[in-house]
Structure 1
Amino acid sequence: MCNAHNHSRYCDCGFGGWRPGTAYYDNVEVRPLAEAFSGETFESYLNPNACCPVCGAHVYFFRSRFNGRVFFDTIGPPWDKHPCTDNGGPIYAPRPSEKCKAEKPAWKTNGWEPVFNVRVSESDDGWRINCNLTKAIELHVLEPSDPINKKGPIFVRQRSKLKGFYDITYLSHYSAQLPVTALSVEGCLMHLNIKVLKGAAKRNKSSLASLGRYILYHLGDFDWAESYLKKALFAGDESVLLDLLIIALQKAIKR
């Protein structure tokens, strides 16, 4: 099984081996991708084992469906572009790298996680992503600026102390040069108005109260509801005291 690193020229995994116009080995000349393919759209792919054509460093090469091309030092937030090629000049397809970085990636240090088994679909209220984190989960992206590149890397990070809310970052469907970061929520919360969800993410007291009540009376999750109702109370909304009392009574009955 291929390990997606240090491929031989005979590797057929999609990142190794020789394909005209997409990589070179030995004395095969590197050509711009635009010369290597005909037509208006291209097959989007990520090469995690590329080599900078200028300095020879190990880099990640990504091409979007619309032929946007970019070298990254690391994949995932903060999406650091490789400085040798981040100058507006033409970008060529890379040769494979013979060395690998061992540093802990910035995205991992900052709490981001890559998602796997991703299925992206469009819904009436934005983009829906079915993926695996610690469990299978459905996320809805709230008004993203660009469509999601389904074949590019996608990372998510749960909002601190806001269960059900996630930041999501991905490469634009239109341009590899434009990483997008957006707010997303678990699918079970999408019956709420998007304005309420965005308000809760900004810790607006009335939005927090509405979210807490929805979780309490529609989803029946006392602990989850209590966390948001308490946030609303601490923000100054005393109307949630009755809801918190109901939760306390229900917990007492269950003991």
Structure 2
Amino acid sequence: MCNAWNHRAGCNCGWGSGENSLTEYAISVNHFSFVPSIQNSIESYTNPNASCPVCGDSVFFYQSPSGGRVFFDLMEPPWPKHPCTDSSSRPLPLTKTSTVDVFSSEMDLNKEWKPYFISSVKVVDRMLLQLEGYLGDSPLSIYVRKYDLGKRSLTNQTIVYLKEYVPIDGCFDMSMLTELGRPKELEAFKFRSLAKS
């Protein structure tokens, strides 16, 4: 009786006879119990050496923990998506009520964004989250308003960039990629009192 993969039911090809039987195979597999089983979980993943599946250009590939996948030309604000794979870059028919939605950070390309690496996220109260992490090599604790995030979440795998907001000391413009790989801008504060104001 055959037990080969994808053979028709009742196949008698002889593959499963003797020592190659399914029962003996299952017993031998148990000897490798130290090997971790494959899980059905998705981790955040970034490939800085990806190629566009359409045009072949060098791009950045990002997969979020919730499964969203995006190709970027640049892996920092303003998060320019690669046009070959960006469905939002396809033109829509013009109507009388059409407007142009300009991503605000595209106006500030010359200001310096720095990556912020989140170590932990703590709930301070019903209004604030406290992020512990590093801006470059320096530890930095910042506060973010929960309502600015909406239904989005922040974890230690969230890709975040900060830029100092010059008019007010202790304030930052924050740009992050959401779980679905979409850019989101909000404010972050070095001091809890600033975040509450």
CA contact (8 A) 1:45 1:151 kept: no
Residue in 1 that maps onto 2:135: 133
Residue in 1 that maps onto 2:111: 110
Runs of 5+ consecutive residues of structure 2 not aligned to the other structure = 1-37, 89-106
1:95-150 Cα offsets, whole Å, 9 max, x none, are xxxxxxxxxxx98732111124x213131233322222263210111232321253
The CA distance in 1 between the partners of 2:195 and 2:135, in whole Å, is 25
Where relative contact order (Cα < 8 A, 6+ residues apart) is larger, the structure is: 2
Deviation at 1:181, TM superposition (A): 0.9
CA 1:67/1:190 → structure 2, altered by over 3 Å: closer, same or farther?
Answer: same
CA contact (8 A) 1:60 1:74 kept: yes
Report the identity percentage.
30
Residue identity matched to 1:166: F
Q: If the length of structure 2 is used for normalisation, what is the TM-score?
A: 0.61
More helix by share: 1
The CA distance in 2 between the partners of 1:43 and 1:190, in whole Å, is 31
Residue in 1 that maps onto 2:81: 81
Aligned residue-pair number:
136
RMSD: 2.5
Residue in 1 that maps onto 2:22: none
SS of the residue corresponding to residue 59 of structure 2 reads strand
1:75-99 Cα offsets, whole Å, 9 max, x none, are 11111100101127xxxxxxxxxxx
Residue in 2 that maps onto 1:165: 171
The CA distance in 2 between the partners of 1:193 and 1:171, in whole Å, is 21
SS of the residue corresponding to residue 87 of structure 2 reads coil
1:29-73 Cα offsets, whole Å, 9 max, x none, are xxxxxxxx984x411111111110111111110111111101011
Residue identity matched to 1:42: I
CA 1:108/1:46 → structure 2, altered by over 3 Å: closer, same or farther?
Answer: farther
The CA distance in 1 between the partners of 2:130 and 2:64, in whole Å, is 20
Residue identity matched to 1:182: L
More strand by share: 2
CA contact (8 A) 2:143 2:195 kept: no
CA 1:152/1:191 → structure 2, altered by over 3 Å: closer, same or farther?
Answer: closer
Runs of 5+ consecutive residues of structure 1 not aligned to the other structure = 1-36, 89-105, 197-255
The CA distance in 1 between the partners of 2:162 and 2:189, in whole Å, is 11
Aligned counterpart for 1:183 among listed residues 159, 166, 187: 187
Residue identity matched to 1:126: L
Residue identity matched to 1:185: F
